[in-house]
Amino acid sequence: MNFIEKFQTFIILIAVGIGLLLGQFSVFENHAERFILPFLLFMLFGLFLTIPLKGLKNAFRNIKFLSTDVMLNFVWTPLLAWGLGAIFLWEHPALWLGFILLLVTPCTDWYLIFTSIARGNISLSTSVLPVNLILQLVLLPIYLLIFAGTRETVEMAAILESVVLVLLIPFILASLTRYFFRTQKDRLEKKIIPFFASTQILFLCLAIVAMFASQGSYLLNNIEVIWIMLIPLALFYIINFIAAQTAGKVFRYSYEDTVSLSMTIIARNSPVALAIVLTAFPDQPLIALALIIGPLIELPVLAIVAQVLLKMKRSKGMN
């Protein structure tokens, strides 16, 4: 892990603090909102550019693992998220929706780091990554319509506009970039992709700064949401860890494959959902706040899970 990856949680916290500080000045509070979307578009362009969609066919070489991954990520997890929200967040509909949208988007980047730390099957984890990305792009607006529609009226046109604007445009631009540089693969792989990969956190933090600056006063008055979300998030991580271990035993996966399954159903992809929320619900910052809180808790959890898995491996006498 490089410096940014190691301290990503603290970098995001600093961005939150800077945004809250700037939000105390009217000049920033009044104009910050217009910068949120451009920063998110740059971040998502970098995210899509770094994902090797050409390896999509590799996922189908292990149908059993892919099926387990898809069922746990896109059927089981949305139901679990809705259930936990119904129990703990029913009095806070905005947080409930943010909580659901956070949990229905599997991670497409840093879970590979923790899979490696726990000695998991990196190639297997990488193979399902593009499948997880494509499915969440397709299903996220459907989840949004279903779950948001249970609490309030949501216009499908607004959701589709958000999807096209913040997901399809950077996705198409990233695909076109790969196409135009197909004859300069060395330059693409060694210069362009590493640059945008390293700047993703920068643009995410700039978007967070802008968002908190534009809604700073409101969010400071609702800081208790961090404690409100702690219990359901903790239960999600625990339950999905147990689910992965159970699936590993039922399907007789190796330790390495079980680690890969554990990480892919625990780690979440909040930036993608955040981009949708900021455009579909610009007047409800609590939904976005729920998506920002997630990574602050998730990174320490993934580090702990990696160590727990390694301890389990040693206790079984595995090399």
Task: Determine the pLDDT at residue 242.
Answer: 97
CB 62 within 8 Å of CB 101: no
Q: Is 81 left (phi over 0), alpha (psi -120 to 50) or beta?
A: alpha
Place of tokens 């339950």: 239
Place of tokens 């600056």: 213
Task: Determine the pLDDT at residue 56.
Answer: 60
Task: Determine the pLDDT at residue 286.
Answer: 79
Cross-strand partners of 268: 106
**Which pLDDT tens digit goes with each residue over 35-90?**
877 887 888 788 778 776 665 666 678 899 999 999 999 999 999 999 999 999 98
Task: Determine the pLDDT at residue 250.
Answer: 96
Residues 6+ apart with CB under 8 A from 60: 66
Q: Following DSSP, what letter does each residue of 13-42 receive, concatenated? A: HHHHHHHHHHTTSHHHHHHTHHHHHHHHHH
Task: Determine the pLDDT at residue 319.
Answer: 59
pTM higher than the cut 0.85: no
Low-confidence ranges of the chain (pLDDT < 70): 1-9, 52-59, 109-110, 148-164, 215-219, 282, 318-319
Task: Determine the pLDDT at residue 47.
Answer: 75
